[in-house]
């Protein structure tokens, strides 16, 4: 079997793992909800990968992305740890070289990436306002008593348009209730909500940027046909949803891991499948070194400290990095 590269995307809502081969074919793909135990989920995912590929594999490169990338990067022994914007842009431009605009909406954040000639030229990120993300929809779906999976399809059945104030989750909610009282149907309300989310996205992320085709829509929320339709209406163009829309970040980082290995010519630093048997412990303490009193996070593997983060001044993380460097220099 040829070379295999692993891509792991640790988001706040989902954890995604993919394995690709030399030709970027997807050999394995896993999308799981992040229940707050990323390390366990990753271990579990890697175990599944091993079974799927009949134990016959050797991993040649590992990349980790997403908001939890640092920690899992240490644990896996990643060859590359990179932000999710670069990872997403990488995968999308691979599948669609003519990409002009990438809309990415996940559970708790959303991104916009502008692409020209196959490379990103501008981006925007929203991590503070829930009104432009999947959790907004989750929340409203719950209120309306509709499973989120049916949400998008229902929106397409709406006969009339109703405008729902979508600036913020709280206002949207009260506006939604009053519109319901006016007698709008559930599907009309849902369509209104989808459009409110897209309007929000446009106001917060796109602002006065000039968008260009092709338009690619990805991330967990891309499964929602109502949102897709609302985007299409907003930009007046066709919206493309990639086949692997919900694991694009993982695919991108796997590709980046491959590129990194090719570039450096090094062997992977992947810790191996045995990590599924290791025990990891994450603890935190408040540093009393100065008035910042940072919450420092310490990661241990089988009792040995492998990473420390969260210190603003580098007092703790530098120690570990230093040790690693020394080990590398002495070649151990």
Residues of this chain that bind ligand SF4 (CB under 6 A)? 287, 289-290, 292-294, 296, 311-313, 315-316
Among 119, 304, 328, 332, the residue binding another protein under the rule CB under 8 A is 119
Cα separation of the two ends of the chain? 29
> Residue 289 binds what, of another protein, ligand SF4, none (CB under 5 to 8 Å, by partner type)?
ligand SF4
How far is 108 from 127, CA to CA, in rounded Å?
7
Task: Give Dmax over CA atoms of the chain in angstroms.
Answer: 74
- Site map 287..306 versus another protein, x via CB under 8 A: ---xxxx-------------
Pick one of 37, 127, 264, 327: the residue that binds another protein (CB under 8 A).
127
Q: In this complex, which beta carbon is closest to ligand SF4, that of residue 140 or of residue 317?
A: 317
CA dist., res. 211 & res. 134, Å (int): 22
Identify each DSSP E strand in 100-186 by its residue range.
101-105, 110-116, 119-126
Residue closer to another protein (CB basis): 127 or 302: 127
Q: And the tokens for 278?
A: 């290791």
Calculate helix-pair angle for 38-52, 69-76, nearest 10 degrees.
50
Q: Which does 315 bind (CB under 5 to 8 A by kind): ligand SF4, another protein, none?
A: ligand SF4
Q: How far apart are CA 139 and CA 135, in angstroms?
A: 6
Closest CA to 156 of 196, 180, 199, 191: 191
Closest distance to another protein from the beta carbon of 66 (Å): 10
Residue 21-60 contact track with another protein, rule CB under 8 A, x = bound: ----------------------------------------
Assess whether the previous peptide bond of 214 is cis (omega < 30° from 0). Answer: yes
Query: Which residues of the shown chain bind another protein in the complex (CB under 8 A)?
Result: 67, 82-86, 117, 119-123, 125, 127-128, 207-209, 290-293, 312, 318, 325
């Amino acid at each position: 079997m040829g070379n295999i590269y692993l891509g792991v995307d640790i988001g706040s809502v989902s954890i995604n793992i993919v394995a690709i081969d030399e030709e970027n074919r997807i050999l394995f793909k896993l999308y799981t909800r992040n229940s707050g135990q990323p390390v366990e989920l990753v271990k579990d995912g890697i175990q599944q990968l091993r079974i799927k590929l009949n134990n016959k594999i050797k991993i040649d490169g590992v990349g980790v992305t997403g908001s939890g990338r640092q920690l899992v990067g240490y644990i896996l022994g990643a060859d590359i740890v990179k932000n999710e914007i670069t990872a997403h842009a990488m995968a999308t431009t691979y599948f669609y070289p003519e990409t002009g605009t990438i809309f990415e909406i996940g559970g708790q954040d959303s991104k916009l990436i502008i692409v020209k000639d196959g490379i990103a030229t501008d981006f925007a990120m929203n991590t503070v306002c829930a009104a432009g993300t999947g959790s907004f929809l989750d929340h409203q779906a719950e209120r309306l008593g509709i499973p989120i999976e049916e949400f998008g399809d229902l929106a397409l059945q709406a006969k009339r348009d109703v405008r729902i104030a979508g600036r913020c989750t709280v206002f949207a909610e009260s506006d939604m209730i009053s519109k319901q009282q006016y007698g709008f149907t559930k599907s009309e309300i849902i369509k209104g909500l989808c459009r409110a989310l897209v309007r929000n996205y446009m106001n917060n992320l796109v602002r006065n940027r000039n968008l260009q085709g092709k338009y690619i829509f990805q991330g967990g929320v891309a499964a929602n046909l109502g949102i897709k339709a609302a985007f299409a209406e907003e930009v007046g163009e066709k919206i493309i949803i990639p086949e692997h829309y919900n694991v694009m970040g993982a695919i991108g980082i796997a590709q980046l891991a491959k590129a990194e290995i090719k570039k450096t010519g090094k062997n992977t630093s992947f810790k191996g499948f045995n990590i599924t048997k290791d025990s990891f412990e994450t603890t935190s303490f408040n540093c009393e070194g100065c008035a910042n009193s940072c919450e420092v996070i310490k990661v241990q593997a089988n009792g040995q400290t492998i990473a420390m983060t969260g210190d603003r001044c580098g007092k703790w993380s530098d120690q570990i990095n230093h040790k690693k460097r020394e080990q590398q220099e002495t070649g151990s």
